[in-house]
A and B are shown apart, each in its own frame.
Chain A
Amino acid sequence: MNTDFRRFILAATIRDGVNQKLLYQTQKLFASMQESIRRFVDPYLVVNSIKTYDDTLIDIHNQMDVDEFYNLLFDRWEFQLPNPDDKKVLRSFYGGELVQQVKSKECEHVSERLEPFSAIQCDIKGKGTLQDSLQAYVGGEIMEGGK
């Protein structure tokens, strides 16, 4: 279990219940899961404090893509954390950095760009195993352009 993440969330300072509502509800959720003798906890209060990018509440009857939801959730958490340092720490639990490389066949120039990632996107189509998918990921693509 990722107790460090749990600890991090529970240690966050809540000063403004309205603007830090999601963070506060998340704290309560984690605390209940740790301390409550209930058989289960219903996270509806947490869900009701997540606003979509259109600034509306989530429609729980609409199936949302998990990747989309994950990014939304982390964005909202990050936004509600009071300190800039905390924001960085949040991203460090589950995300990493990748490198985008572009190499021209015509010359030796290689340009690189660092990008953060939260999850590694793996192709399924045509790939039978995780290793195949990762191989393709780092294997690259060839693109042609005309003049």
Chain B
Amino acid sequence: MVHKKIENRTISVLTWEFRACLKDIPDNLIFHLKRFDFNLRTMQRSKINDYFSFPTKIDMRPYTIDYLSDPDTPGPEDIFELVGILVHSGTAESGHYYSYIRERPSSGSAETWIEFNDDLVSPWDPETMEASTFGGPDFRYDNNGIVYDKNYSAYMLFYQRSNTLRTDEETMSVPLKVDIPAEILDHIRNENTYILRRHCLFDPNHAVFVRRIFEHCVVHSGACSPEHKAEKAAMQAALGHLDQVVSRTKDIPDFVDYHDMLAKAVKNCPSCALGLFRYFRDRHESFRTLVQRNPEQLVRADSGDLLMQAVATIKRRLPEVYGVVEDALGQDDADGWVHTQDVVVAQVPHIFDTLWLAFHIHLRSWNEVFGIMLRFARLGELETVVLLNSDLLSRMFRIIQADSSIDLAPNYQRMMTNLLRRGLNRPPNYENVIALADHLMSVLQPILGPDSIVEKADTRLLMYCHGETSPAWTSTEVLTAHQEWTTNPGSSIFVSKLLEINQSLQATDNIMQRLVRANRQLALKVFQTLRGNITGQMLQGHSNAPYLRAAIACCKASDDDDTVLRMLTHVIAQCRQLNNTEGRAFLEFFQKMYGAPSPGAAVSPWSIFFNMTAQIPKWTPYLLGYYDGEVRWQTDEFLQRAIFDYGVAPVFEPEAGGERRKEVLISAARELGLNALVFLRDHFIQRRVHVAKDMVFPLQRVVAKASAYFNLEPDEPGPDQEFAQMSQSKPLSFFFLFFFFFNLRLVRADFEHHC
């Protein structure tokens, strides 16, 4: 016993020795390196990053109780080999674990190690073991002489007894598999199949494979079988593949083949057609993805075409499935029919409704989306009414009419935003929007009145079934067409926007004509809009051509002479101060508007014709002197055909205008001559402008031709004298000398030929 003196007291001290040693070591031995330290004073955990090495092989016998009890008797070694290292990177609070594990049994002669780091598995070179796992100072990053400890190092070590390793190596077969409970194994195998199928799905050969199956079942076997079971399955597979894979593969290499194959099937076989229709009827989103959202125009157009082809075949070959309305017309069960949802013709609009939900987002596919609707409408009157019933016409109107200055419903507002984002240079394709509007309008009641307007769109199908063959307008449709610009009262926003879009010209003209014929109020509004937008002035960003063109159609549709004449007068007035570059459009207006009515026509066309003839001298000089040579020459031609071809003494049959026509003609020729001279004098001579001969030549020609209608040596004052004086005046005659006589002879020769 030991005695110690502490604070004046004598204490006996007892000493104990504690130690631990190993008795039974498992084949798989784990060492836990105590790198996390808890400081009792600060109550903080900290990590010890000190350098700590470990061997690839270690003899554990020296640490067993057997050895320690009798160290002088050496026993057999108990060698363990390093097979796994768990590394911690980070701090006591947070970090990341990853492992290095030795492959056992080894796949070759050398040891191979693998790094397992979450989902990343890669080969690891054990030569880097010290650098990667022993920790200690990191000499690579020497910031101004300060060396930091690596924050990553081994944390747990796994050793395996050597002789078991050897045994394993001899007995284990590769791949190493143990038995798995049946239920779990089945589940994994099914999942594997699914993964594999998904992987193969995008293999280029898969598309070919599915196509061949379809061709085998449907195309090659001639006619489809009555039961249609294999064909139906093939159709489902082909459509599913088209939808999910073929239409989305870069460069769409298989799409055309698929389309052609399916198109042929739905054209020839009503069951195939029905199968295709039902596939998309039950999968609106798939259809939408193909037709509205696919970036390839071909995919959008052809997919829509497939569906409509199928619908057409069903209509033709399976009318009861399609929906035959004749049975319902005028009978009591008309109401029942209208609400029937089973028939194909009633299901199609639901697909269109799904497309409609996103029309304002996908502007680039408008042509294809509305193209399908148009194609459906063109199948017949019933289809047109069905679409009117789902308010499609007012939607088309509102698309056309939309402008930032008016109150718009949210989806139209978003459409405007997207339109602006596209930029003015890249307007969307309105062709089918307008064509569809035109087609839908074509069945409506032609005259707008209290009897031909209803409140809601969806009463029209019911009325149709009750025998009302010409649907009424809805108040929304009427209001949209009527709505006026706040900055320009009396002018229709719809008309302006329609003409500014300037697409689908024939359909546009049709629409314009219907509006003119609908009622007087609307007609007035139309013409006022036109007049307001036809100007000789040079306006930035404004084009007269669409309005001039529409004006022709509207004049032809109008039965009100005053309106037509007022339009003519307006255009003529603009022509007389033509400062913009649209001479051709103005000329074209007159070229198209002017023409003798057919023999025996009513009074009204003749009166307009005479009026137009009389007005020829008012505008032609301006176009004869226009800067664009093509316009000058064409005006010259116009005058030749309209006036000079008839000569100085034409004779017209009574049905062809008679004496009145002759008078008007001659009077016009004379006025023309005078006006041409005045124009020359005012624009070229008095201004003393130097111009190319080409510029004045047409005017001079006309003067020369007109001279035949004058007495050039008159006795008394009057127009003839005026003409003679002006044409012979010094400055003018200087121009004319040669041309005058030369052309006079030409003109005379023409006359003799005519008379």
A interface with B by C-beta (< 8 Å): 1-3, 6-7, 10-11, 14, 27-28, 31-32, 34-40, 63, 65-67, 92-106, 114, 118-125, 127-131, 133-134, 137-147
Known A-B contacts A119-B31, A120-B31; the reply to A94 vs B26 at CB < 8 A is yes
Which of the listed residues B22, B53, B95, B97 has the most CB atoms from chain A within 10 Å of its own CB?
Answer: B22
CA distance A99 to B192 in the complex (A): 49
B179 beta carbon closer than 8 Å to chain A:
yes
**A106-B15 contact given A65-B36, A66-B86, CB 8 Å threshold:** yes
List the A side residues contacting B25 at CB < 8 Å.
96
Contacts of A101 in B (CB 8 A): 17-21
- Judging by beta carbons under 8 Å apart, are A140 and B19 in contact? yes
Contact in complex: B15, A3 (CB < 8 Å): no
- The A/B interface has a contact count, at CB < 8 Å, of 202
User: Beyond A1-B176, A124-B35, is A98–B22 a contact (Cβ under 8 Å)?
Assistant: yes
Residues of chain A lying within 8 A (CB to CB) of residue B155: 66
From known contacts A119-B30, A120-B30, A130-B53, infer whether A31 and B184 are also in contact, taking CB-CB under 8 Å. Answer: yes
Closest Cβ–Cβ distance, residue A138 to chain B (whole Å): 5
Specify which chain A residues have a CB less than 8 angstroms from the CB of B17 in the assembled complex.
Answer: 101-105, 140-143
Cross-chain contact A128 with B20 (CB below 8 angstroms): no
Contact in complex: B191, A106 (CB < 8 Å): no
Contacts A97-B24, A124-B48 known; 16 new A-B pairs at CB < 8 A: A6-B178, A27-B180, A31-B185, A35-B185, A35-B189, A35-B192, A63-B94, A67-B156, A104-B15, A104-B17, A125-B48, A129-B53, A130-B58, A138-B21, A138-B68, A139-B19
CA distance A147 to B355 in the complex (A): 95
A140–B15 CA distance with the chains assembled, in angstroms: 13
Partner pick for B29 among A31, A37, A96, A141, CB 8 A cutoff: A96
How many angstroms from the CA of A96 to the CA of B22 in the assembled complex? 8
Closest chain-A Cβ to B714's Cβ sits at a distance in Å of 107
CB-nearest residue of chain A to B86: A66
Supply 23 A–B pairs (Cβ within 8 Å), ascending by A: A3-B168, A10-B178, A28-B184, A31-B180, A39-B119, A66-B156, A93-B28, A96-B26, A96-B29, A99-B65, A119-B32, A122-B31, A124-B50, A129-B55, A130-B52, A131-B55, A134-B62, A134-B63, A138-B21, A142-B15, A143-B16, A144-B14, A146-B11
Distance of A130 Cα from B82 Cα, bound (Å): 12
Give B441 Cβ to nearest chain A Cβ, in Å. Answer: 59
Q: Which of B704-721 contact A (CB under 8 A)?
A: none
Are A147 and B23 in contact, CB atoms less than 8 angstroms apart? no
How many Å from the CB of B161 to the closest CB on chain A?
A: 11
Residue of B nearest to A34 (CB): B177
B409 at the interface (CB under 8 A from A): no
Report chain B residues within 8 Å CB of A94: 26, 28, 30
With both chains docked as a complex, state the minimum distance between the C-beta of B167 and any C-beta of chain A, in angstroms: 11
Measured between C-beta atoms, what is the minimum distance from A89 to chain B in Å? 12
CB distance from A51 to the nearest CB of B (A): 21
Contact: A98 with B20, CB < 8 Å? yes
- Contact flags B350-384 to A (C-beta < 8 A → 1, else 0): 00000000000000000000000000000000000
